[in-house]
Amino acid sequence: MSNMDHETCVKLAEWYAAIHPRRIDIIGDFGGKQLFLIDGDSLLHYSVTTSAVDYDVGFQLLHAIFAVESFLKNLRVRGCNFHVVFFDNQTELCAPSKAPERMRYKYQMTRTILIRHLRRYANGTNEKDDTGVVFSFPSIDSQQFRKYLAQHPATFLLCHDGDAAPRQCAPKQAAFHYMIHQFLQLRHGVALIYGTEFKSSRVIVPMITAARKIRSITPSQDLRPTASLQTPESAAQPDWTPYKGKSYGELLTAAALWRVLQGGCVEKYKIMAAAMILHHVIISHTELAERSLAITCPIQNNRISKAVDTFLEHFCQEITIIIESDMGESLARGLNWDVFDIIDGRLFLSLYAILLEGVSIPATLVNKAKPLIICVEKWSGVSLFNSNCLRISNLEAEEPQSKLMIPSFHSLQATILPFNHELLNKFLEPVHLQTTQLHEEVNESKVFRELTHWHNAKVVLEYKKIPKKLGFFARKKNQKFMADTLVYSASLTNATGKLIEPKTLDKKNSATFRYWHTLAQEFSQEEVLIRRFQKCMKYFLSLTNEEKMVISSEVSLYLCDTLYCAWGKQAATTSSEQALGIGSLLFNQIVQTSLLPGSTQEVAAALQIFNSAVGIRSTELSNQKITSRRLGFHPRVYEVDNRALLALGSSEFQLEHCGPFLERTFDSRKDDRVPFEPDAWQRSVLDSIDANESLFIVAPTSSGKTFISFYAMEKVLREDDDGVLVYVAPTKALVNQIAAEIQARFRKTYNHEGRSVWAIHTRDYRANNTTGCQILVTVPHVLQIMLLSPANANSWSKRIKRIIFDEVHCIGQADDGIIWEQLLLMAPCPIIALSATVGNPEEFYEWLRISQISKGFNFRMITHNTRYSDLRAFHYAPPEDFEFKGLRRADQFPVPGLDRPNRTTSSFQFIHPIATLVNRTGVDLEELSLEPRDALTLWEEMNKFQTKIFPLDDSLHPSQVFSGIPRKSDALAWTQRLKTVLAAWMQDDTSPFDRVCYSLGPDRKASRNSNSEEEQVGHKSCDTPDQPSLKNERLSTFALICDLHKEDGLPAILFNYDRVECERTLEFVLEQLQSTEQAWKKSNKGWQKDIRDYNLWKASKDKRKIPKKGAEKLTKQEKMREEASTDVSRWESFDPKRPLEEFSFADSSRLTRSELEGFIDSLQNENIRPHLFSALERGIAVHHAGMNRSYRQVVEILFRKGFLTAVIATGTLALGINMPCKTVAFIRDSAFLTTLNLSR
């Protein structure tokens, strides 16, 4: 491709300069399963450059081949699935751009031999495994390559970019750029090989993602394949039968020398030919270490040096020509493939220098070379056995001296001790090493005991001595820790107190009815329907279990009636489309009312009217005795003549708007072992734990993994007082949360001192007795130390009944993955490995299964792929004219989603999962999660664009699939059928797949869901998500939080993997709120008047407190009477320093002021910066591992209580921390933000 014109080179350089690849982990992001391609020339280019292969006088072909094999091996051991492809029109790309022209023939020979070598190696592996298969094509634009891609869908191409400076337009760099450009045009990604990093089980590469449309760049002239060397004529071939050996390398050397000697310069090349033959014999009969030579330059004569270079060039070219020809293929049949070590430049030059000086060659060496010399002489007609070429030494005295030419390898051999292990023997079968005989161990009176570890610098405790009692301050510190843990656990279990859980006293049903009737009349007086709904919902959620059995169905019916009125009013004032969100709430409330206890005949009759009014098929009430009781209100649905506003019973409506409310159970049944109805996969987990089996559980976040750990803990606690369960968590934050939840769930009394239910042991702190507890919560490093400690070998370790490894996928993502691996292998008991995201669960399960079975434990893998709560992806386009003037949010019904019909901003653009399929090949549709409404939209577009050749079966129509109210499992089964059809469309370029993807794109969705001018009132959004108008990332983050507040999208967690930037963003948001508030206070006359009135009231109050001289003192009772008779002023609760609601994200309804002050006061002695307290008061916080532990716990508590609504955090919160939220935002890209992290 060196014939590329200059104009095309410039265009390609400019195009490539605008590309910015991002680093990804191809194991984590693709699971190591998706096929990808490696450009063979880029592979050779990169390998020989990074390994510093000498292509000058000391050229060693074996080093180059080994460098390539090492790179491929690093991919293979990590489970990568790849093919190596070579293109005939870019053979010159295998040589680095800085390589001298006189050396390029060596790169060409290396390339030719490498192709054949890799092919032969692939044929020797398992035929079912395509890993390492090599293919050659005329060019990347050839029809052969296009056909190959159709048969082998590849995810991306791993190639080089030429190491060019930005905008450099050299022809070789342009050839690399052209290859990248063409592959991206084929809708495949491109990874750059020069940035490859192997870290633990990860392979990190710079990735260029394929775009939907790429500017076409066509060279002005055809790119012709590189001219190949002249193929040897078949008529000139000699008789090969004299060669009786088995080495293809020997025969190829002889054939190449025959052709070189035929080309002329016979006298000049005779000695070199003899040196080449001797050089190959030494290579064939010695170990690699025996021919290790330093770089030498034995030839000082420039004329002779040039002759050697010319000989080597001719020799290597002939090797290349023969291998690529049919003659080479015929010669290779039946011979051993050893061409990968056909030339060692250092050894050849050393031998040539010896022959040039007339040094005698040992007879033993000449005798081994004699058959090959005879073949060359016979074929070329040139005699090599003469005094000028070979001086043979027959004297025995010279024999020892000649042996010094080859160093002895046996004297350097080292032996190792034998190794035998039942678990590892299977994996070490391919390794064969010479070992020594074991000597008998010498009896030593002193036994080595490893009692310390580099993680622990504390003095070793003497166990025989009774430990001293803790001092006053140490006890005070422990008491404070336990008190904080109790408060923390209260936020996890929704308790309202610390030690005492208040119980509601029994009330008679009549009192409950009267109270509800009174409230219903009060609610009906509220004319604003949204406020009426909020008040009733607040009361409904506050009902106790006893009250729910009596009145919950009637209260829920009142909510249905309120929603029905709001639905009709919204449809009348705006449009029926705008009211669809309220309709979905009404649908859900009607369904839930039919399932609630305490129903009456009046409630059932009203529900029947609602069902007929909205077109829902009548639902049967739960099995219960129905009584008759007068309703506390008159349903408005009775007063409406035309009740049917829209048929909510249609499957299309339920799929599009009611997806978040569909029933999410999967074969759930009642089970006495747990207080809820577990699904089928959860019952399997319970059975395995009861059978004392080991488990590997893969289930998404919020799918119900939490109960597994606590059921196993309860089982250990109930069995006896000695059993131990160890819970291993990857982070200290998760350790604290699990310990607090154990504290809230379990209580147990022990007969011996020093025992406890739980304990914490990390590198920073301990809580309770770590060896005297029954549930130890710790981190991997500490458990490793405890298991390897001799002091625990015969006591504590034998008491362990089970180990739970939470977030076990950290074995491949964390830098300390080796610790996880060691713990999983050396666990002395059954284990439970939990994970939400494992890229290759089958391989991981098989690896663990071998370990567990060898210890006598049954091992099961249980997977559940469905999330309980659906996730919808949005792109946030920052507003162009954003100017913060205070928070405003109109009261609206809690319709879920940022793309609901009555939204107030267009900054959030929904991303349909199918629209992200830029690369149609190598994509596993099973990894794409579709909500019911996403599946419905997909069906609509597929139905629209179907053709006669690519039809969509009528049985996939929603009305044919669903009858009655659909469940989540029904929607998933339907979605799977749609994916099957779509997968077939993806494999054919003529299918309507591209049109479906384009129609589901953000531009189409924006035009479809665009509302009226009312949507654009707040601010004007950017036209496309690729061109945000705000350059300041922190200001964009602040605008995002404001828009989420407006759209009821809070609480939210905003992930930024940079700790410093997390804190800087928090400071920026806080400064914006404070400065805007101060400016508003200075300009607002109403506020200034309030301040003046407050100061007057405060002065008069202080004046009243000063007693007059001579006045009689009032008694305590008189003071109380006087205070009771005094009217309470509104200024009593007024605090001018308190943040105003318009400039605070905090939800003050979730926490009283005194409770907030209590949390803040508990942090006063923790050396926390003051602005973090101010941020807490305004409902925002930061969370990362570098923050104070007490501060992090307060942040988690306040977030769970709902007071904090925005937390800027690093990835530590993604590792199992219980912090429910409505929205998760990623405000900055990072190398740590992998696909697995995103899906978790």
- If one counts every other C-beta atom within 10 angstroms of the C-beta of residue 80, the result is 22
Long-range CB contact pairs, 924-928, < 8 A, 24+: 924/33, 924/34, 925/979, 925/982, 925/983, 925/986, 926/979, 928/979
Alpha-carbon span 1045 to 1085, nearest angstrom: 27
How far, in Å, are 709, 718, 729 from residue 695 at the CA level? 11, 21, 17
- Tens of pLDDT, residue by residue over 259-292, are 888 776 667 778 888 888 888 888 888 888 777 7
Q: What integer pLDDT is reported at residue 386 of this predicted model?
A: 64
**Overall size of the chain counted in residues:** 1240
Alpha-carbon span 580 to 573, nearest angstrom: 13
Q: DSSP letter for 1013, please.
A: G
1011 or 815, which is more confident? 815
Residue 126 has pLDDT above 50, yes or no: no
Q: What integer pLDDT is reported at residue 1026 of this predicted model?
A: 40
Nearest by Cα to 291 from 409, 390, 414? 409
| 3-state SS record for 386-423 | CCCCCCEECCCCHHHHHHCCCCCCHHHCCCECCCCCCC
Given pLDDT bands bounded at 50, 70 and 90, which one contains residue 397? Answer: very low
Residue 129 has pLDDT above 50, yes or no: no
Asked whether the beta carbons of 978 and 938 are under 8 A apart, the reply is yes
Confirm whether 6-208 and 680-863 share one CATH topology.
Answer: yes
Q: What integer pLDDT is reported at residue 741 of this predicted model?
A: 84
Which range has the worst mean pLDDT, 327-331, 415-419, 681-685? 415-419
- If one counts every other C-beta atom within 10 angstroms of the C-beta of residue 640, the result is 15
Kindly report the CA angle at 776 between 773 and 777, in degrees rounded to 5? Answer: 150
Q: What integer pLDDT is reported at residue 502 of this predicted model?
A: 39
| Helix, strand, coil tally for the chain in percent (to 5) | 50, 10, 40
Give the distance, in angstroms, between the CA of residue 313 and the centroid of all CA atoms in the same chain.
Answer: 50
Kindly report the CA angle at 1139 between 1134 and 1144, in degrees rounded to 5? Answer: 135
Secondary-structure class of domain 6-208 per CATH? alpha beta
Q: What integer pLDDT is reported at residue 618 of this predicted model?
A: 57
Q: What integer pLDDT is reported at residue 265 of this predicted model?
A: 64
Average pLDDT over residues 316-336: 85
Give the distance, in angstroms, between the CA of residue 1171 and the centroid of all CA atoms in the same chain.
Answer: 33
Instruction: Please give the mean pLDDT across all residues of the chain.
Output: 77
Alpha-carbon span 247 to 1213, nearest angstrom: 61
At the fourth CATH level, which superfamily is domain 1050-1091+1132-1239? P-loop containing nucleotide triphosphate hydrolases (3.40.50.300)
Given pLDDT bands bounded at 50, 70 and 90, which one contains residue 1031? Answer: very low
Q: What integer pLDDT is reported at residue 735 of this predicted model?
A: 85
Q: Is 698 helix (H, G, I), strand (E, B) or coil?
A: strand
Asked whether the beta carbons of 670 and 677 are under 8 A apart, the reply is yes
Given pLDDT bands bounded at 50, 70 and 90, which one contains residue 39? Answer: very high
- Tens of pLDDT, residue by residue over 933-966, are 888 888 888 888 888 888 888 888 888 888 777 8
Residue 726 has pLDDT above 90, yes or no: yes
Q: DSSP letter for 115, please.
A: H
- Tens of pLDDT, residue by residue over 880-918, are 778 888 887 667 788 887 777 766 777 888 888 888 876
Residue 500 has pLDDT above 50, yes or no: no
Alpha-carbon span 624 to 601, nearest angstrom: 11
Q: Return the sign of the alpha-carbon dihedral for residues 430, 435, 440, 441.
A: negative
- Tens of pLDDT, residue by residue over 1216-1227, are 677 778 888 888
Provide the whole-model pTM: 0.69
The residue extents of the domains of the chain are: 6-208, 240-403, 514-649, 680-863, 874-1029, 1050-1091+1132-1239
Residue 1172 has pLDDT above 70, yes or no: yes
Q: What integer pLDDT is reported at residue 1011 of this predicted model?
A: 42
Architecture of the domain made up of 680-863: 3-Layer(aba) Sandwich (3.40)
Q: What integer pLDDT is reported at residue 1092 of this predicted model?
A: 84
Asked whether the beta carbons of 158 and 35 are under 8 A apart, the reply is no
Average pLDDT over residues 428-433: 71
Average pLDDT over residues 298-304: 55
- Tens of pLDDT, residue by residue over 24-35, are 878 766 655 678
Which range has the worst mean pLDDT, 21-30, 139-148, 753-762? 21-30
Nearest by Cα to 21 from 220, 157, 223? 157
Q: Return the sign of the alpha-carbon dihedral for residues 1086, 1090, 1091, 1093.
A: positive
